[in-house]
A and B are shown apart, each in its own frame.
Chain A
Amino acid sequence: MVQSLNAWRESPSQTAGPYVHIGCTPNAAGIEGIYAEDLGSSLISGPVAGKQIEVVGAVYDGTGTPLKDAMVEIWQADAAGLFNAANESRGKADENFTGFGRAACDQETGEFSFQTVKPGQVPWVDGRLQAPHITMWIVARGINIGLHTRMYFDDEASANADDPVLQRIEHQNRVPTLIASSEGASSEGQATYRFNIHLQGPNETVFFDM
């Protein structure tokens, strides 16, 4: 016998199921009056530094059908590359920018959208700067454990080429699955980027175990 490691095991994941919106975005699911607003429904609470952008997309299954019961969460740095987090020690992030967004995919079209700012660069574990990117987490019925991916920008070609995470992807022909495409300006004049997520198929998105 040996001593115990005194280690607890992480609680195992279970699917969020088809009704994740009841718990996470109840107002969007038609359950009003419990929470004043849905968590993560706005990232911007006042004047913010940097370029305001819109991120849109959908999550597609292996048949090419958009998921209508998915929920997408994003987490990102502000325009200066700082996180609005308790353990951010490099400086003070923009106080009008939370960096956290949550969206229910549309129950008819499957589309999600976020109004956010283009993130600045953040160093990786070895000190090299990463290209601007947004962390995404996707849950839905039929997804047993949340899927973790990253969205990069198609107008950052040189930063993307130097990105330490993108460089470590064995099949470099899959890197384009992580790069959002500029769609021009929205009706409000913001730059819009489209990031479609494919769970399977020839364009299956790269997912991370981080």
Chain B
Amino acid sequence: MSNNERSEPAAGGFIARDRAWHPPAFHAPYKSTLKRSPQAALISLPTSLGEETGPVFGHSLLGEHDNDLLINFAKAGETAIGPRIIIHGRILDERGRGVPGALIEIWQANAGGRYRHKKEGYVAALDPNFGGCGRTISGEDGSYVFRTVQPGPYPWPNGMNDWRPAHVHFSVFGHAFAQRLITQMYFEGDPLIPLCPIVGSLPTTDAVETLVAALDKKQTLPMDALAYKFDIVLRGRRQTLFENRREGL
């Protein structure tokens, strides 16, 4: 469908990222950022075709249990150990509209706080039935759902005694490479959230709150799994109400 056939204005370039809302590259309490943060200013430019397009991931990519971490690595008839939870929500743009067809990939520690990774050094036990990754594609209204176990908190080498709050890592592809985003989901009520140097890289408590999933009692499966709701907002496009691009911009 060409833009001319729509009743709404054509899509313009992507709305610039609010860099004061995102974490800065350098945040001293998170020590790994010291030698990994660029020192020069980013070069700010409008989005062009290469940023306004992105790869297409179809449902044929997905296996039957890709979004069910309880069983996608488990032996037949068995499930991962830990509190069973549903994580559901919607992928939205900056105008609040659902983003269909977004690829969502997640990874997490097991219920004991242990990752399945050869460089992981925490003493907590591996769960032979838990791999720790899942993926899905959002529906027509931007909705998605995963089933998993609630991950445990874990200690990490930063300060002498730093612990990550329980979290799930999210990677999201919208429709354009400019929307590419990796973030983390935290759990309502976790006392470790305000103590974490990685959470603390977020400049405001408002930003932190947008990453804390709410317990969603209404979506709970009785006698089966608690539910948490986590919406993710991707960059949106300007409407080209009156396009006036200057030469060289």
Contact = CB atoms under 8 A, between A and B. Distances in A.
Contacts of A205: 38
A26 B133 contact: yes
Contacts of A144: 22-25, 27, 30, 33, 37, 201
Given A86-B56, A144-B24, A14 B30 contact: no
Interface residues of B, number: 91
A19 B117 contact: yes
B72 A11 contact: no
A210 B175 contact: no
B46 A125 contact: yes
Contacts of B92: 8
6 contacts: A12-B21, A29-B116, A30-B117, A85-B53, A125-B245, A205-B38
A85 B56 contact: yes
A84 B47 contact: no
Interface string B42-76: 11111111111111110001010010000011000
Nearest to A36: B63
Contacts of B47: 125, 210
B246 to A, nearest CB: 8
A174 B39 CA distance: 13
Interface string B142-170: 00000000000000000000000000010
B42 A137 contact: no
Nearest to B46: A125
Interface stretch (B79-87, B215-223, B229-237): B229-237
A23 B106 contact: yes
Nearest to A135: B50
B171 interface: yes
B201 A35 contact: no
B38 A10 contact: no
Nearest to A75: B177
Contact of B17 (A18, A171, A209): A209
A9 B210 contact: yes
Contacts of A146: 180-182
A159 interface: no
Classify the secondary structure of A's interface with B: loop
A13 B22 contact: yes
A73 B103 CA distance: 15
B191 interface: no
B247 interface: yes
Interface residues of A, number: 83
A86 B95 contact: no
Interface in A73-130: 73, 75-77, 83-89, 98-100, 107, 122-126, 130
A44 B182 CA distance: 26
A18 to B, nearest CB: 7
Nearest to B201: A144
The 3 A-B residue pairs whose C-beta atoms are closest, nearest first, are A23-B107, A142-B32, A85-B53
A184 interface: no
Nearest to A68: B119
B181 A62 contact: no
A14 B43 contact: no
B211 interface: yes
Interface string A5-37: 011111111111111111110100111011110
A200 interface: yes
A22 B21 contact: no
B55 A63 contact: no
A17 B119 CA distance: 12
Contacts of B57: 39
Contacts of B34: 62, 142
A169 B198 contact: no
Most central of B21, B38, B248 by chain A CB within 10 Å: B38
B123 to A, nearest CB: 17
A85 B120 contact: no
Contact of B44 (A22, A171, A209): A209
A122 B181 contact: no
Interface string A176-210: 00000000000000000000000110001111111
